[in-house]
Amino acid sequence: MNAREIFYSKDLENMRRMIKDRKVLIGVIGLGSIGAVVASAFLFKGFKVVGIDKRRDDIVRMIKKKSKDLHQEDVVRKILMQSFGKKFFVEEPKPEVISDLDVYIVIVPVEWRNDHVDTSVLEEVSEIIGRNMRRGSLFILESSVPPGTTRRISRDFLERFSGMIAGEDFGVAYSPERVSLGRAFEDLVYRYPKIVSGINDLSLEAVENLYNTVVEKGVLRASSLETAEFTKLIEGVYRDVNIALANSLAEIASLIGVDFWEARELANTQPYSHIHMPGTGVGGVCLPNYPWFLISLAEVFDKKCWCRDIIKIARDINSSQPKRVVEKIIEGLNMLEIKDYKNVKICILGLSYRGDIYDIRGSPSIEIARSLREKGFEKIFIHEPYLSKDNLDLGDKIVATKDLEECIRGSNVILISTDHSIYKDLDIKKIKELAEEKKMLIYDGRNMIKTLEVVDRETEILYGGVGKSWRKL
Amino acid sequence: MNAREIFYSKDLENMRRMIKDRKVLIGVIGLGSIGAVVASAFLFKGFKVVGIDKRRDDIVRMIKKKSKDLHQEDVVRKILMQSFGKKFFVEEPKPEVISDLDVYIVIVPVEWRNDHVDTSVLEEVSEIIGRNMRRGSLFILESSVPPGTTRRISRDFLERFSGMIAGEDFGVAYSPERVSLGRAFEDLVYRYPKIVSGINDLSLEAVENLYNTVVEKGVLRASSLETAEFTKLIEGVYRDVNIALANSLAEIASLIGVDFWEARELANTQPYSHIHMPGTGVGGVCLPNYPWFLISLAEVFDKKCWCRDIIKIARDINSSQPKRVVEKIIEGLNMLEIKDYKNVKICILGLSYRGDIYDIRGSPSIEIARSLREKGFEKIFIHEPYLSKDNLDLGDKIVATKDLEECIRGSNVILISTDHSIYKDLDIKKIKELAEEKKMLIYDGRNMIKTLEVVDRETEILYGGVGKSWRKL
């Protein structure tokens, strides 16, 4: 495909010229939701990009069908579809494809699973790259990983299977993705500086030059691979701990009869106060993993370090939050003297773990639904406006629907679990009209209902929520 | 003094006119560091203010001597001194003085002491006001207190001792001070909106009108006294928890050989990341109290609520931080093979609990010094640039000095405990020159030394710090 020029070498002028002339062939390994964003950013800036993914056929099919399932961000879909076959190619991880690339940008899942960090996919990818890479190429890891992973795993595998020396024959860099799905393309290209690090000065130089071309806010150098790896994790742990704090303060507020959301908004008018939003749980594939990456690493050095405690307790609080929401619903049903769980219809609003995006990985709503099922509830529906089809079978007889009215109709319990903007249009009256039930429980996990009103004297409505005390309307 | 007009009444027009014409006589009860700021803000806006404090004679003496000890903020000192005897008066809490006032702004200490909230000063003040207040006055509490305190303590005492009814005969409001000492006047008058709440609509109206005249950013209404009380506490708890998180992450960083301060700076370039600064401990009279106010209140409703856990663990982490610094110093001395603690001279840089202000209440440096004393160290000095005299005897044979050279001279251990800006001028070479010791330990608790350099081959310097691994220079 491209001329067999050497990209990574001491000839910095040549390196810069190759970048400037877009002669560097970029491989993005892992075309998941973030990988697709990185690929589209390089395409947007004029590079030729090969996306490498085992799901190659599925991806190509989605591109050809112009399916929205390819990616939730319009700009990413548009770029990938328009570039396909011209500047953008999708391949399976085949030796001849791998060996053709100048840069390997690796974004594959590294997760906490069964009490250890699962780096198997990263190992596999590092091995196949190592076996096929050319001298003068650059390896960049973007996945969030425990500090030391780029050096101990990727570098090691690359050297072992290539027989070459990292730093000398090829570059090794780490540059964390730190974008937020839903606006990730914009975050990457326009909004945040990119953090870069290298195993040696030349690797750093290479990754810096490359990303300076793509990222408008420029790059920031970290002094070591480990510093950059650590940096990404602490951004996430900060968030996880602060959501746990918000969940805790919300519970205290509801105990003492204060509306947490009002207090939070007031407190945050002080410029150093950034109190987070509580909710029904923390989902996704980031926040639930990062704390364990740090905790397990700290334990290697100091088995019982106090330094793990706050991170651990925050994680426990957040992972128990769905269970607590279920307890609140049962508390509310007791107050309404509804005992026949079998005939209670529950409508959970929102399947995505975050508002206004579609991402159901680690969704608290699924956990809540399963836990309700265990308690004997049989009619559980989840509404999700961003489903690509009408219904989605989630197993355990739990069905997600795109139809809001279908979900609410005849429901005794309405639980708002995701802060999709469309739920702001709901009010007590509208819910009551749709539900047509005489006894209803509305539990607002995301402060979506702004006005509480009495609908009619005959309907008994109990309203509560995360950070809100129970109120009979 | 002023005409005996009724300030607090349903005649809103009259209330507004009295404020506009500055006919409202303001009493500030408690002329401590924050009370003095509030008094000066009202004076600045043209009101007549009576400061009420048991230390009346001391305060008047400081004003007359133009002493800097009156207040650390130049603008506050200037206003109080210039207004004294004209618009500003200082009195002891005498009945005839109290009964003359239209507004009582109360800023007295409410602290966590011996496992309970000590409201004794607030009770005393509320009683004396209750006994002497006129119909038509307004009571405003500004101290940080557990939610419910204004209603249960102040309202109750005022009604009981006045025989009048709160809301009807006099107003009761809560409006938290939320300024930061060192720039508190600016925070209050120019930088933050003021949160106000009232026991009834009329009290809210009164406090709102009053503060709208003083605070350029205007006021924000909280829907209840308790919401406003809660709001202030969560601002503080957010900070305490995030400092504990920073201390924890800093420890993990130092274990794995990453400089926490570098990672923190990089992480915070992501606009949703606000990772705090770690340090040698949290001092002052705010942060160490607020968590307990919330914890003890939560326990009233739910004895073992999970909602306390993260707040409690954060408090434990922060209150143990000085002890951990002492352990690090001993670890370092072991590495340098210095065993004769008696002859080790230790210089602690900074006595104030926060940089660039003078406030030694709850100072971690004092705790560190005492703990070192217990371990057998005998030559402990603390440097504090903001001392008003040359030396300050802190008891336990610990002396603070204003003389930096005196502190460092001959020291084997330099501990940077406070981030006073002047310490940024220190570098390894300068410290070494001042100390003239062959074996030295520098422990940087606040990331003040930016460049590490080898001074000479004969001097053995061990450098470490909060969020930094040990390094031999």
Cβ pair A241:B238 closer than 8 A: no
- Helix ranges (H only) for B375-453 are 404-408, 428-435
Report how far Cα B272 is from the mean position of its chain's Cα atoms: 26
CB B130 within 8 A of CB B160: yes
- Helix ranges (H only) for B139-224 are 149, 156-162, 184-186, 201-214
| Alpha-carbon gap, residue A461 to A338, rounded angstroms | 12
**Level-2 CATH architecture, domain A320-472:** 3-Layer(aba) Sandwich (3.40)
CB A174 within 8 A of CB A228: yes
Q: By three-state DSSP, how is residue B27 classified?
A: strand
Distance from CA of A235 to the nearest CA of B (A): 6
pLDDT band at B132 (very low <50, low <70, confident <90, very high): very high
Which phi and psi (to 5°) does residue A38 adopt?
A: -65, -45
Interface of B with A in 248-307 (CB under 8 A): 248-249, 251-253, 255-259, 262-264, 266-267, 269-275, 294, 297-298, 301-302, 305-307
Q: By three-state DSSP, how is residue B297 classified?
A: helix
Whether the per-residue pLDDT at B4 is higher than 80: the answer is no
Whether the per-residue pLDDT at A453 is higher than 70: the answer is yes
Q: By three-state DSSP, how is residue A113 classified?
A: strand
What is the rounded (10 degree) CA torsion for B145, B146, B152, B154? 0
Q: By three-state DSSP, how is residue A142 classified?
A: coil
B303 is catalytic: no
Cβ pair A266:B237 closer than 8 A: no
**Level-2 CATH architecture, domain B321-472:** 3-Layer(aba) Sandwich (3.40)
- The shortest CB-CB distance from B301 to any of A226, A242, A255 is to A255
Match 């939610």 to its residue by tokens: B147
pLDDT band at B374 (very low <50, low <70, confident <90, very high): very high
A469 touches chain B (CB under 8 A): no
Distance from CA of A313 to the nearest CA of B (A): 6
Percent residues over pLDDT 90 in chain A:
92
CB A282 within 8 A of CB B233: no
Whether the per-residue pLDDT at B173 is higher than 80: the answer is yes
| Domains B12-223 and B232-314 belong to one CATH topology | no
B452 touches chain A (CB under 8 A): no
- The shortest CB-CB distance from A267 to any of B235, B245, B249 is to B235
Whether the per-residue pLDDT at B2 is higher than 50: the answer is no
Polymer length in residues for chain B: 473
**How many inter-chain contacts (A to B, CB under 8 Å) are there?**
199
Torsional sign, CA B446, B449, B451, B454: negative
pLDDT band at A4 (very low <50, low <70, confident <90, very high): confident
Residue partners of A368: CB distance under 8 A and separation at least 6 = A280, A281, A322, A325, A326, A348, A415, A417
**Computed over its alpha carbons, how large is the radius of gyration of chain A?**
25
Sheet holding A379-383, edge to edge: A391-393, A399-401, A379-383, A345-349, A413-416, A439-444, A460-465, A468-472
In tens, the pLDDT along A99-158 reads: 999 999 999 999 999 899 999 999 999 999 999 999 999 999 999 999 999 999 999 999
pLDDT band at B26 (very low <50, low <70, confident <90, very high): very high
CB A309 within 8 A of CB B317: yes
Residues of chain B with Cβ-Cβ distance to A298 below 8 Å are 251-252, 255-256
B118 touches chain A (CB under 8 A): no
Residue range B163-178: mean pLDDT, rounded: 97
Whether the per-residue pLDDT at B1 is higher than 80: the answer is no
CB B171 within 8 A of CB B203: yes
What's the whole-number average pLDDT of chain B?
A: 96
Residue range A422-426: mean pLDDT, rounded: 94
- Check residue A2 and give its pLDDT: 46
User: Considering only the top CATH level, what class is A232-314?
Assistant: mainly alpha
The residues spanned by each domain of chain A are: 12-223, 232-314, 320-472
Beta strands in A273-363 (DSSP E): 345-349
B12-223 maps to CATH 3.40.50.720: yes
Best CA proximity match to B422, nearest among B363, B357, B353, B346 = B357
The 8-class DSSP code of residue B229 comes to H
CB A313 within 8 A of CB B313: yes
- Check residue A397 and give its pLDDT: 86
Residues of chain B with Cβ-Cβ distance to A310 below 8 Å are 241, 244-245, 248, 310, 313-314, 317
Strand A379-383 and strand A345-349: the pairing is parallel
Which residues of A are catalytic, by number? 232, 286
pLDDT band at B64 (very low <50, low <70, confident <90, very high): very high
